[in-house]
């Protein structure tokens, strides 16, 4: 087996274990609304949101001409 395949399988296994262990419902309240979702889904959305914001900021600074970032 290739080391990349083994690494991918380990990551998939750890992700599945994380999801299984974090199925408890968390309530999120912000201003006038509230939503309930599992902790693992909440963390997934927060990581995805952080990646999108980082990508947009990186693109903005590259487009603006700041090559230092």
Q: Where are the domains of the chain?
A: 3-64
Classify burial at 65, counting beta carbons within 10 Å of its beta carbon; exposed 0-12, middle 13-18, buried 19 or more: exposed
Q: How high is the pLDDT of residue 41? A: 86
Q: How high is the pLDDT of residue 53? A: 94
| pLDDT beyond 80 at 68 | no
How far is residue 25's CA from residue 28's CA, in Å, rounded to a whole number? 10
For the chain, what percent of residues have pLDDT higher than 90? 20
How confident is the prediction for the chain on average, in pLDDT? 85
Contact at 8 Å (CB) between 25 and 38? Answer: yes
Residues 19-45: tens digit of each pLDDT: 888 888 989 898 988 989 888 888 888
Whether pTM exceeds 0.85: no
């Amino acid at each position: 087996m290739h080391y990349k395949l083994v690494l991918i399988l380990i990551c998939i296994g750890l992700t599945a274990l994380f999801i299984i262990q974090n199925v408890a419902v968390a309530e999120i309240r912000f201003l006038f609304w509230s939503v309930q979702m599992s902790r693992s889904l909440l963390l997934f959305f927060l990581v995805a949101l952080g990646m999108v914001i980082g990508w947009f900021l990186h693109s903005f600074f590259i487009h603006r001409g700041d090559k230092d970032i």
